[in-house]
Every structure is written in C-alpha cells, then in structure tokens.
Structure 1
Amino acid sequence: MHAKKNEPAPRVAVVTGADSGIGRATAVRLAGQGMDIGITWHSDQRGAEETAAEVRGLGRRADLEPMDLTRLPGAAGAVDRLAGRLGRVDVLVNNAGTGTMTPFLDLDPVTVRQVIDVDLIGPFLCGQHAARRMIGQGDGGSIVNVTSVHEHQPRVGAAPYCAAKGGLGLLTQVMALELAEHGIRVNAVAPGEIATPMTGQEDHDVHAAERPGIPLRRPGDAREVAAVIGFLVSEDAGYVTGASWAVDGGMLRMGPQAGSHLENDSWRRP
C-alpha cells in the first residue's frame, strides 16, 4: 500500500528476528497498526517469508533482509538497507536474540562473545543505525529493546545471557536520555516465559499449560508481548521513555530463581 498524493507516508517499523515468536507477532501487530514492516531473519528464511505474507495480508508492505549479529559491525547495516528500500524508519524493535544454559565455570570465550554480540552489541549498533536515520528524518521515532526478566534478575546457567540483557536494560536508559532531544523514545520490554520456538512451545495453547510458580499460572503468548510493544511505539505512549515493561505473568515478583520452576502451589499459602 502506497500513500496517496499529499498524504503522509506510512510509518515504517524494522523488527529484527521477525521470522517467528515474539518477532513475528510484533511484525503482524505493527502492520495491524498501519505500519510497513522491515523483517530481518538469521537462519529461517521460510519463517521470515511467512511473516511477510501475514503483513501483506493486512495490506501493508513487507521487505526482508538476512542478518547475522555474530558478524558485527557489518550485520547492523541491515537496518539501513531495509529503511532505504521502504523509504524511512520510524520504529525499531530489537528482538533478535540468543542464549545458552551452561554453568559459569564451563563457559568458553567463544560462546560468551556470541551471546553478548547478538543480545547486546547487535542491538546497540542497530539502534545507532535507526536513530541516525530518525534524526535525519526530523520527526522523532521509537525504539524498543526486547530484553528479558533476566534484565532484572539472574538465572543459574545463563551468565552471558543475563549479562547481555542486564546491559541492554541500562543501555535502553542511556539511549532514552540521549535521544530524547530528537523526539526519539526508547523503552525495553522484559518477557518472562513466552511460548515461542526459543522455549520449545511455539503454537501451544498457553491457557492449557500449568505453571504453579507463575502467579498467572501459565506461560505468556507472543502476541501478549507484541501488544505491549505496539502500545510503546504508539502515540498513546508519547510520554513513556526509559522504562522497562515486564510481561511475565508476575514472575519477577517471585524472586530470581522461582517463577516457572516451582512445581506446586504451596507458595500461595502463608
């Protein structure tokens, strides 16, 4: 869909890692809010094409670009290539991520560097590319960094993941401070256990899963995270910047090692 003469061009959102899970749900959500979508993918091109088909089914443009955030700094140029083909960028959602479940003493430098690059340095560089374009456009924009509940609390076996997500959370706050003068808002979304390929639960009915250790008793749906992102990049959140929004069913209220790991409801009783 193209803007008619004298009508403003549609807003454009770039969503990294939009081939599945939270990224796909976010791309579709933002398309439903009237945006054209730039989609990056790492290994699942078919998944990215399926996301694009959903976006186009909503009457919006979609463009795809491969991006491997272990190949920095060059990989972050995908943001510029998508913005160039789509005409601009108004929203960046730094969703692409990876992780490891490896004891601290067993970690090797290659694994640590890979997780840090994908989960922290990659979003840092993608944010720079998007922000520079937004500043050049002159009418502001919005960036959302997808972190994790482990932005706020640790988890055994996830040292580089927690370090990266914690760093991304503080980076979000610095970006918010420095980019505010340009009308660019920057926020984080911190998901808990979400039914996605990363947790081995894609397309599961979250209401049928039993999670006694999560106050809302279930995992989250990727569309529930996307709804919060959709709010944060909308005009309704025009006075929100530098915040981290937990989408976790109350998991963070349970402490760093609780949440989905509890097997019964005994914690609910005094």
Structure 2
Amino acid sequence: MSAPTPFAPEVALITGADSGIGRATAVRLAEAGMDIGITWHSDEKGAEETAEEVRGQGRRAAVAQMDLTVLPAAADAVDELCRELGRIDVLVNNAGTGTMTPFLDLGLDDVRQVLDVDLVGPFLCGQKAARQMIRQGHGGRIVNVTSVHEHQPRVGAAPYCAAKGGLGLLTQVMALELAEHGITVNAVAPGEIATPMTGQEDTDVHTEQRHGVPLGRPGDAREVAAVIAFLAGPEASYVTGASWVVDGGMLRMGPQAGSHLTSDDWRRP
C-alpha cells in the first residue's frame, strides 16, 4: 500500500484578517510558505497593512471586502480570492462579531446580525471553499474560529454563544462529511485574547493580570495563530472534528470560580 501524498498547502484564505487573530494568522501562514487571501469588513487600511506584512514574508497577498451581514452575496469573496490566487488549500473562518446585551433587551435584528456573521457566514464560506478543494483533488483544511463560548455561556452574550455553539457543532458535521475528500475541519476556541475586539490592541499580555485565568494573563493573538497554523499544516493530517481551546485554562475554572466569587457583579454584562 503506497503512502498518501503529503498535504502541501499553497494558498490560505482568512476572513477578518485586517487585525487581531486574523492578521496574526495571515502572517504565520505566510511564514509557513503560503500565499494569503485576506477579507475585511470595515477596515480596508488594516487589511492592506496585513497584506504588506504577508508580502514582507515573500508571499503573495490578495484583499477583498466581505460584509457577512449581506448574505449570501458576501461569500462570493471566497470565489473572487480563489480566482486571483489560483486555488485554495486552507480556509480560516475568523470574522466575527458579538453583543453585550441582556437577553430580555435583545432585538431580532441584533440577533440575526450576530448569527449571520458568526454562523451562517462561515457555513456559506465553508461550502464555497470545500467545493473548490474537492475540484482541486488534493484535500484541504478548514479551521473555524469559535470561542470558549462554544463550550460555556456568558451573561449578555446570548446570540454570540448560540452562534459559536452552533459553529462548533457545524464543525463536527463538516468534519464527518468532508473527510472522504481529504478535507479536515477543526475549531479553535480562544479565551480572552488581546485584540481590538476586546479593546486590548497592542497590549503586552505579560504585563496584564487575570486572577481567574490559571496562566494569570490574557492571550496574545500569535498564540492562537500558532494553533491554527498547526491545524492548517501537513502535520495535522489525522486531526479532524475537534475543538482546540486556547484560553490559558479559563474553562477549567468553572466550579472554582463558582466557589470563589465574592459579589454579584457577574450578573451584569
């Protein structure tokens, strides 16, 4: 029996790569030798800065606007970037949004927006990427960036938790159905990461203290990118359908936090 041909990714597409985890992932995959497709929603300048960092690694970069509140049209950016770069071997569904609104105060429009961006958008982008990977015939990698709230809830984040939990189970179904095509599908579930989304852009995480996190600090976007890069590469060939938590041990603190909280502040977003 001959050994399978090693997976050798040439092109990766990362949604929401204008900053934070998306940018760190784009740079990390460029360092691994991939050309990079970059999507952005509102920060075109940030996307171009990411592209320049990718080119600084000697790789090609292509940029496209993607507004995942405009579906299904927004997912066409996947096809656009595939045409420009010639193929797609890796898709990282990173773009996301959320709310900090109590359940009883949520409006339907807000709920739909979060579900579209965080769940339906990755579903449609995943379909387009997988179809192209199947046509190419060399397998592929899809990584869905979820959150620790794929696994545990947070007050004030009902639609976000619903979407990320749904994306976690969607990842498992995709993994089952796409395995026969040599496409692996995994989730990466970050905890508190120093990014613009958490209001900590350019923060030195080693100077910040988080008593409720076993490692005692928030995470750096590059620490998440390192896990994504492993899952996107040839060494993760037998890994699929899993959720990789990158949270400094935060999720392990559930019962511990329950016994050590000293006020009711957690009841408010």
The number of residues matched between the two structures is 255
Could you report, residue by residue, the CA deviation over 1:110-133 in whole angstroms, capped at 9, with x for unpaired residues? Answer: 000000000000000000000000
1:189 and 1:229 in contact (8 A); partners too: yes
- The letter of the residue matching 1:182 is H
Matched, 1:126 2:121: no
Q: 1:267 matched to which residue of 2? A: none
Segments of 5+ residues of structure 2 without an aligned counterpart are 1-6, 263-269
Sort the Cα spacing of 1:146 and 1:9 in 2 relative to 1 into closer, same or farther, 3 A.
closer
Shift of 1:255: 1.4
Matched, 1:78 2:67: no
Specify the SS of the correspondent of 2:95: coil
1:153 and 1:256 in contact (8 A); partners too: no
Sort the Cα spacing of 1:262 and 1:148 in 2 relative to 1 into closer, same or farther, 3 A.
farther
Sort the Cα spacing of 1:87 and 1:126 in 2 relative to 1 into closer, same or farther, 3 A.
same
Q: 2:171 matched to which residue of 1? A: 172
Specify the SS of the correspondent of 1:255: helix
Could you report, residue by residue, the CA deviation over 1:211-259 in whole angstroms, capped at 9, with x for unpaired residues? Answer: 0100000000000000000000111111000000000000010118959
2:215 and 2:248 in contact (8 A); partners too: yes
- The letter of the residue matching 2:158 is A
- TM-score, normalising length from structure 1? 0.92
- The letter of the residue matching 2:11 is V
Specify the SS of the correspondent of 2:230: helix
| 1:1-270 → structure 2 map (5 Å cutoff) | 11-255=10-254, 258=257
Superposed structure 1 runs of 4+ greater than 2 Å apart: 256-259
1:188 and 1:244 in contact (8 A); partners too: yes
Sort the Cα spacing of 1:262 and 1:90 in 2 relative to 1 into closer, same or farther, 3 A.
farther
Sort the Cα spacing of 1:34 and 1:116 in 2 relative to 1 into closer, same or farther, 3 A.
same
Percent of pairs with identical residues: 81
Give the distance between the partners of 2:167 and 2:9, measured in 1 at CA.
29
Give the distance between the partners of 1:103 and 1:82, measured in 2 at CA.
38
- TM-score, normalising length from structure 2? 0.92
Could you report, residue by residue, the CA deviation over 1:61-115 in whole angstroms, capped at 9, with x for unpaired residues? Answer: 0000000000000100101100111000000000000000000000000000000
- What root-mean-square deviation, in Å, do the aligned CA atoms of Structure 1 and Structure 2 show? 1.8
